[in-house]
Structure 1
């Protein structure tokens, strides 16, 4: 090659192995759902956690020591439902990623976008060229009738919607091994199964994705495939609690654009037996619910300007809370995903609001909400072996808080600093983006 040229600068690069830091004196909430541990030290070595032990077990050494007396530590948060490139906008996406990592979010699951841009952000954030969480992303598959949706045009510029590797139209004639291989070639960790597909096709895509080492992430209802069809297909994660309300509906399921009305009365007086059976199957199979429970209250409410749309927002918000609470009580693993981001000038990421909704409206205990946003989030990406809890051998990803989030989820805003892959991000260095950017 003649000579080597240095690549882009990496101001947020992970530290090298041998750079040992002892974070001493903290109250640690480790993400497993267990009780908080006081007077605890986290020892990091480069990008990984070497030990999480009582302070008394730490011997004097030459390691750098950070005193966290009076502070609370949680694992790096994981938003299990995000979009960062629909449509692609580099400046806006970089601002979003920066806010996420300075807001305690050290990994996100991107649920289909223009993967040409997403893949570059994933590489840049991991090596430290830009500040941001680790990014695990999916390539989308849907029926041909879905691809006049304007979002598919936004993410396929330069190509044909439905005929690009990251967004493919699937028919009975599709060569599924080739289609999944093309999706895998984008760097995707999963196939997202979205809309206008039969139960048999959902099952075939899921089986082929698994055969090739990819996960299968699906909408709760794929139209005409029902929630029960989706779960029976063996997908790893289903998204949107309100989409599960179509299980047992008396209306025909046809296409994504022709959704039947939600039968709210079925859920008004208690747990729906159709969902009870569905959740029991999900629990048996280990299927994760990416609930996006707070999206109606936290995002769509701002767009509801007339009485009819405001009532729809309230009805869907109540429904999301009921269904998510039901799933949690059955034992289904519930992850914390937002499916939107706050306005650029907002100081904190949307995941904080989702976590507050899970605690306040869904009745999930705070320690379990943290588990949803850490360990279960990692499980939703198939990354639980390397992140999601504060344990020896996992990535050094955690947030240091000034107050106890188990007392109030609002204490998540009391971030003093975040460690991601061993690199420290001081909250005092963060400035929100200007409105519109």
Structure 2
């Protein structure tokens, strides 16, 4: 039944195309994200939001004969859509700022983001608006957070719980041994979260109990690499799906017992920066064997925010960058799957996102081959977000999430900056459309 006064709702100018709206992308060189070599002169057939075929000459000919739109990408290099596996878009909530970040991301080849806990009231609406096309944005996969009660005097927990009590909201819960964990996980699921994030001030037993209950309910667990007092080894032993922040793994070699998130002990820096510390070798072996993904955020300590403006903050950042280089490279050599998260963003006036900096750091500082880094930024990133069945590789049946470059980023990771087009769920986002919008915005702001 249709009511005559039913509102059509908000405009959705970026909505995915409908099934039956067929586009052929022809002549491109394809890095499909599955691990194979790039393939030249490939054609892709996209039907609505989905990839219908890859390098299928018969289907390409049939689509063109039926009147499909043709997009000639001769000379261009195509990858799956990129994924930033660690963002915070609503701490505190600021809808215009978040939309500006998302708009830049989607025009830079980023088709999905893993949001690692925020005010999910806003994130949930941003995720909905991105999916249906009300805003220009990547898809958002987000976590509901659990931590010990002592964590909830952190100012950020108040920023994301405005109007309520920090630790007592479904998206950010204080957990103790007395918590009804089946109910707590169900409340987290009710926020439409993709995962539970285990954060701080929880012992090994609670980390394991949360993880077991979340998995029983079919919910992945994303954890800080050290949860304090739970060590990295205990976090991995709990069976979590991903761990974040490679420098926190250094606490597997802490010189004193771990106590709380706010009281981190020193680590064996001299041994760790060799990239051959045996304690980390054991940990990385277990992570590899269990399939635990490492969201390294390796370049984070070179951001302006963490470098700071004092000699002390700069030295702290330098030492942590040294750790990030050594441990990320060691993890990669050990066969640990890496996802490419950032946990920061470049300044609003910058043309490209922090994800480009992370990928360059992994290649140039950590010595990881560009082929492996692009796989981390696509298929592994999708798996880290629980979306590997939807996106992350260019295969029939998956979402038509693509990044198109004028030059090959495998030859030079700096060629990410030659992005010309993003396709997200079949909807095209030309880079020059973003450039024109950004230029107009800057012009208005300087009047």
TM range (shorter): over 0.9
Query: Alpha-carbon deviations, 1:165-203, whole Å to 9, x = none?
Result: 100000111111111111110110110000000000000
Deviation at 1:305, TM superposition (A): 2.0
Question: Are the equivalent residues in 2 in contact too, given 1:199–1:225 (CA < 8 A)?
Answer: yes
Structure 2 residue 288 is matched with structure 1 residue 286: no
Q: Name the CA distance, whole Å, in 2 between partners of 1:213 and 1:54.
A: 36
Residue 145 of structure 2: aligned partner: 140
Structure 2 residue 392 is matched with structure 1 residue 410: no
Which of 324, 341, 345 is the equivalent residue of 2:345? 341
- Number of residue pairs the alignment of both structures matches: 435
Which of 166, 171, 178 is the equivalent residue of 2:171? 166
Residue 225 of structure 1: aligned partner: 230
Residue 185 of structure 2: aligned partner: 180
Query: Alpha-carbon deviations, 1:301-360, whole Å to 9, x = none?
Result: 5x4222222222111111101101111111110000001111111111111110110111
Question: Are the equivalent residues in 1 in contact too, given 2:26–2:74 (CA < 8 A)?
Answer: yes
Deviation at 1:2, TM superposition (A): 4.5
- Stretches of structure 2 that go unaligned for 5 or more consecutive residues are none
**SS of 1:182 mapped into structure 2:** helix
Query: Alpha-carbon deviations, 1:215-241, whole Å to 9, x = none?
Result: 100000000000000000000000000
**SS of 1:247 mapped into structure 2:** helix
**SS of 1:311 mapped into structure 2:** helix
**TM-score (norm: length of structure 2):** 0.95
- Map 1:386-401 onto structure 2 (within 5 A): 386-401=390-405
**SS of 1:98 mapped into structure 2:** helix
Residue 364 of structure 1: aligned partner: 368
Which of 388, 399, 402 is the equivalent residue of 1:384? 388
**SS of 2:262 mapped into structure 1:** helix
Residue 373 of structure 1: aligned partner: 377
Structure 1 residues 27, 54: closer, same or farther in 2, change over 3 A? farther
**SS of 1:58 mapped into structure 2:** helix
Residue 52 of structure 1: aligned partner: 54
Question: Are the equivalent residues in 1 in contact too, given 2:303–2:344 (CA < 8 A)?
Answer: no
Residue 131 of structure 1: aligned partner: 136
Residue 200 of structure 2: aligned partner: 195
Question: Are the equivalent residues in 2 in contact too, given 1:25–1:55 (CA < 8 A)?
Answer: no
Which of 23, 29, 33 is the equivalent residue of 2:25? 23
Question: Are the equivalent residues in 1 in contact too, given 2:222–2:242 (CA < 8 A)?
Answer: yes
Question: Are the equivalent residues in 2 in contact too, given 1:24–1:55 (CA < 8 A)?
Answer: no
Q: Name the CA distance, whole Å, in 1 between partners of 2:364 and 2:240.
A: 29
**TM-score (norm: length of structure 1):** 0.97
Q: Name the CA distance, whole Å, in 1 between partners of 2:305 and 2:346.
A: 12
**SS of 1:373 mapped into structure 2:** helix
Structure 2 residue 236 is matched with structure 1 residue 252: no
Deviation at 1:263, TM superposition (A): 2.4
Q: Which deviates further from its counterpart, 241-250 or 50-59?
A: 50-59
Query: Alpha-carbon deviations, 1:277-306, whole Å to 9, x = none?
Result: 0111111111000000010113445x4222
Which of 85, 92, 104 is the equivalent residue of 1:99? 104
Deviation at 1:63, TM superposition (A): 1.2
Residue 108 of structure 1: aligned partner: 113
